[in-house]
Amino acid sequence: MLYAIFDYLNSMDIPGAGVFQFLTFRAAMAIICSLLISMVLGEKLIKLLRKKLIGETVRDLGLAGEKAKHGTPTMGGLIILASILIPTLLFAKLSNIYTILMLISTVLLGLIGFTDDYIKVFKKDKKGLAGKFKVIGQIVVGLIAGSILFFNPNTSVKQVVKSEAVITDNSDLNYKKRTKWEKTDEHITTIPFIKDNELNYKWLVTWISDDLEDYTWIVYILVVVVIVISVSNGANLTDGLDGLATGTSAIIGATLGVFAYVSGHQEFAEYLNIMFIPNSGELVVFIAAFVGACIGFLWYNSYPAQVFMGDTGSLAIGGIIAVFALAIRKELLIPILCGIFLVENLSVVLQVSWFKYTKKKYGEGRRIFLMSPLHHHYQKIGWHESKIVSRFWIIGIMLAVLTIVTLKIR
């Protein structure tokens, strides 16, 4: 919105209006705006939720500090959503296909989570939205995101097809590098730690028969759906301690912002020898708002939490991370970058599977962990909640650094 206004003012040679042409300026403004919205809106929303007695009834799991959390307002994810959407609408190019994709994904995922929280809080139904309906909603988001990324011509990438030294005089030392970029409609993604590290999705079907190449879109969209569901639910499971999911998501978001910036900048893409994704740099504005929203929400969500994000926030932030990674062709980095989400997911799967197996075999269910998801296991062995969160953040930072170094270590 503001970008369009200042673009028009710049065309009229109004002094200072051209500052909105700088991506870094708009990203900085987005994160500042997001932080301010989080803190200002957060205080007012918390007061409103308390007034309406919209509190979270915490299920008794026998964990330390549980009783103190009873009555804490939930649906705080509305703060996160507003802090993402408003700055994006203000500072991003709204005609950009990647901006449109992220806005659609954020709104739809937010609606799924809000519906679940609404049923729990206002309808007094602790079960909330049935799990199958959540999955259906996530599938719809995956189908939309996959279709846009596969079929829209504005989401194509460019690859270096030729690089050669051009001698400018008789000295072998004086030359300049000429790089030729070629647009490709192939649907490729990045394989970490591998040189010339592109995986073409058509290879997943053409190894059976070359005639199946026209059906690559089916495989790609299925992959997108699985990733959206997995990461969204991973963030939802991680949201069990004050500030855990929020802080972890902020770390992940900042890392994705680095990848979006270098992938959307032709010179950086050339230097790092990675695929160049035209127009994807605009995603930096969105992810700046996302990081600002997560950090701003920590103002009220850090221990002891004054508000919980609920599914309104957790399902949305996980899905946003998934779609964003897919947009910049870094989905294969998700197991590393989102390692916290992955481990939390796996801990639940292993716990449930082992319990069912041992119950069937021995007549009584046995557990791998004292409790799942994993963060509850550490609570059971006596770690303080804030210590668990801090250590998970530290691990998240280590994983983020490891993810970034994949740009050079191949």
Residue 135 lies in a domain: yes
Residue of 358, 367, 249 lying closest to 376 (CA atoms):
367
Q: Mean pLDDT over all residues of the chain?
A: 85
pLDDT band of 8, cuts 50, 70, 90: low
- Which pair of structure tokens corresponds to residue 120? 């729990």
Kindly tell me if the per-residue pLDDT of 18 is higher than 80: no
Residue 330's nearest CA partner among 316, 338, 291 is 338
pLDDT of residue 23: 87
Q: What is the pLDDT of residue 43?
A: 86
Instruction: Summarize pLDDT for 117-149 with one digit per residue, the tens.
Output: 888 877 777 777 888 899 999 999 999 999 999
* Residue 83 pLDDT exceeds 70: yes
How confident is the model over 12-22, as a mean pLDDT?
A: 73
- Kindly report which listed range (4-8, 23-27, 146-150, 250-254) carries the lowest average pLDDT score: 4-8
**According to the model, what pLDDT value does residue 172 have?**
43
Domain count, the chain: 1
Q: Residue 195's pLDDT is what?
A: 74
74 near 263, Cβ under 8 Å?
no
pLDDT tens, position by position, 197-220? 688 888 888 888 888 888 899 999
| pLDDT classification of 353: cutoffs 50, 70, 90 | very high
pLDDT band for position 174 (cuts 50, 70, 90): very low
DSSP 8-class letter at 196: S
170 burial level (CB within 10 Å; 0-12, 13-18, 19+): exposed
Output the pLDDT for position 136. Answer: 94
Residue 410 forms part of a structural domain: no
Average pLDDT over residues 380-397: 94
- pLDDT score for 181: 58
Asked if 221 and 147 touch (Cβ cutoff 8 Å), the reply is: yes
Q: Taking residues 5-28, what's their average pLDDT?
A: 76
For Cα atoms 276, 278, 280, give the angle at the middle one, nearest 5 degrees. Answer: 95
- What average pLDDT does the segment 86-107 reach? 94
Give the pLDDT confidence score for residue 185 in this predicted structure: 57
Contact in structure between 105 and 319 (CB atoms under 8 Å): yes
User: Is 245 part of a structural domain of the chain?
Assistant: yes
The structure tokens listed for 57 are 């009834």
Banded pLDDT at 351 (limits 50, 70, 90): very high
What's the average model confidence in pLDDT over 11-23?
A: 74
Residue 165: its pLDDT value, please? 46
Cα separation, 77 vs 311, in Å, equals 7
Mean pLDDT of 246-272: 92
Between residues 260 and 120, which one has the greater pLDDT? Answer: 260
Percent of the chain scoring above 90 in pLDDT: 52
Nearest-angstrom CA–CA distance, 304 and 70: 12
Asked whether the predicted pLDDT for residue 60 surpasses 60, the reply is no
How far apart are the C-alpha atoms of 389 and 238, rounded to whole Å? 10
**Helices in 122-265 by DSSP H: which ranges?**
131-151, 203-206, 216-238, 244-263
* pLDDT above 70 (res 6): no
Among 195-204, 222-231, 251-260, the minimum mean pLDDT is found in: 195-204
Q: Does 67 have pLDDT greater than 90?
A: no
Beta pairing, strands 55-56 & 72-73: antiparallel
**Phi-psi sector, 201: left (phi>0), alpha (psi -120 to 50), beta:** alpha
Q: How far apart are CA 145 and CA 324, in angstroms?
A: 10
Range of the domain at 26: 2-405
Pick from 3, 74, 82: which is nearest to 292 by CA?
82
**Residue 38 in contact with residue 293, Cβ under 8 Å?**
yes
Is a pLDDT exceeding 60 seen at residue 64?
Answer: no
Contact 192, 408 (CB under 8 A): no
Query: Is the pLDDT confidence value at 258 over 90?
Result: yes
Q: Is residue 364 part of a domain?
A: yes
pLDDT at 102: 96
Residue 72's pLDDT is what? 80
Dist. CA 179–CA 194, nearest whole Å: 21
Nearest-10 crossing angle of helices 283-301, 77-91: 150
Residue with more model confidence, 405 or 5: 405
Report the pLDDT averaged over residues 95-114. 95
